[in-house]
Chains A and B, each alone.
Chain A
């Protein structure tokens, strides 16, 4: 299988938090210009993976490279230079609460460039227009709905025209309409700006509708990968349970416990 050189390559990644092994030899490749989804149930460390790619966390073994640079051997300055070319959308939006929408989007521009005020204004309005919120530029984050906050955060993430955007759970907790808006927006921006997108999510149908390639993670390992169609046809019990949302399967319904009968008969513990 010959593929073009990936933008992000994760090789044999090991990461533990305390005694818990979060990643145990994970290999992921993210192709340029595509939307790649990383899926898995809650608590599998999907957000941790994004933080590892962005260099906020340091792996115990293995390496992560972004655009040919090995993230964890970079100095802080080099890492910050690299991060200017990455955008990230946090689950909560992570908007700065003491700034209004306009200033939030302008924030990275002001911090990293010396553009004049009128250029900043044009740029910010352009980005806000792209997410459909130019009219909300004077609102404060507390006045926004969750979906709007995410769109503002998205405008902020693309303010400096990054090469890639990482989305942390962009769909969770959204009503169907704003979910649809976000799905469309991610898809459109990816094509229009020639971005590379990484989506971390557990919302199967929405993610599958726009992803070019999907990795499914469970218990620190990649348990399935492929295009949405390939995964939909997958025979792996695990992937089937996840993709189709079955209550019981390899991921058991019950949290590990002693036999129910024994537990009922046991002396109550004080």
Chain B
């Protein structure tokens, strides 16, 4: 009833199951990122963040350098306060870097794009990025476009 084959078979079975779990955790999900995500925290204030969500990527030159960790609303300045962590590999990001919210594709998710400035000093934990550009809200763009067209026609 009980043989070596059974023992080996069950051992292989359990190993395969655990390997599958490991693959799901490391390859499919963001565990690899989470464990390596002890970067430094930076905040930025935006007038409007559009559809930005926690865990959205933060990129520089299209390369992912961090992710959004927290989004709050400051009810004294009526601004959105976005906190994000940046991978500790990228320590040399100038202090006057600007942050903008972009949309991936026409209807894709939103992310933060950083654009390097020229400062000699670099961003460190707890710093704030002051140069920000809000998300482009499609309705506003269309509204502005129509308004300017109308103004052109009128003059």
Task: Let me know if chains A and B touch directly in the complex, using CB atoms closer than 8 Å.
Answer: yes
Q: A residues touching B (Cβ–Cβ < 8 Å)? A: 98-100, 103
Which residues of A have CB within 8 Å of B1? 98-100, 103
> With A and B bound together, what is the CA distance between A98 and B1 in angstroms?
7
Which residues of B have CB within 8 Å of A103? 1
> With A and B bound together, what is the CA distance between A100 and B1 in angstroms?
8
List 4 contacting pairs A-B, 8 Å CB cutoff, sorted by A: A98-B1, A99-B1, A100-B1, A103-B1
Question: Contact string, B1-35, partner A, CB cutoff 8 A, digits 1/0?
Answer: 10000000000000000000000000000000000
> With A and B bound together, what is the CA distance between A99 and B3 in angstroms?
12
> With A and B bound together, what is the CA distance between A198 and B1 in angstroms?
33
Query: Taking chain A's interface residues, is the majority helix, strand, or loop, or is none over half, making it mixed?
Result: loop
Which residues of B have CB within 8 Å of A98? 1
Which 4 pairs between the two chains have the least Cβ-Cβ distance?
A: A98-B1, A99-B1, A103-B1, A100-B1
Q: How far is the CB of B49 from chain A (nearest CB, A)?
A: 64
- Look across to chain B and name the residue whose beta carbon is closest to the beta carbon of A98: B1
> With A and B bound together, what is the CA distance between A99 and B2 in angstroms?
9
Q: How far is the CB of B114 from chain A (nearest CB, A)?
A: 66
Q: How far is the CB of B80 from chain A (nearest CB, A)?
A: 66
- Look across to chain B and name the residue whose beta carbon is closest to the beta carbon of A99: B1
> With A and B bound together, what is the CA distance between A119 and B1 in angstroms?
20
> With A and B bound together, what is the CA distance between A214 and B1 in angstroms?
42
> With A and B bound together, what is the CA distance between A100 and B144 in angstroms?
86
Which residues of B have CB within 8 Å of A100? 1
Q: How far is the CB of B1 from chain A (nearest CB, A)?
A: 6
> With A and B bound together, what is the CA distance between A103 and B1 in angstroms?
9
- Look across to chain B and name the residue whose beta carbon is closest to the beta carbon of A96: B1
> With A and B bound together, what is the CA distance between A100 and B2 in angstroms?
11
> With A and B bound together, what is the CA distance between A98 and B3 in angstroms?
13
> With A and B bound together, what is the CA distance between A69 and B1 in angstroms?
38
Q: How far is the CB of B95 from chain A (nearest CB, A)?
A: 74
> With A and B bound together, what is the CA distance between A13 and B1 in angstroms?
43
- Look across to chain B and name the residue whose beta carbon is closest to the beta carbon of A100: B1
Q: How far is the CB of A117 from chain B (nearest CB, A)?
A: 13
Q: How far is the CB of A242 from chain B (nearest CB, A)?
A: 44
- Look across to chain B and name the residue whose beta carbon is closest to the beta carbon of A103: B1
Which residues of B have CB within 8 Å of A99? 1
Q: How far is the CB of B52 from chain A (nearest CB, A)?
A: 61
Q: How far is the CB of B105 from chain A (nearest CB, A)?
A: 60
> With A and B bound together, what is the CA distance between A98 and B2 in angstroms?
10
Q: How far is the CB of B2 from chain A (nearest CB, A)?
A: 9
> With A and B bound together, what is the CA distance between A25 and B1 in angstroms?
46
Interface set, chain B 31-48, CB cutoff 8 A to A: none
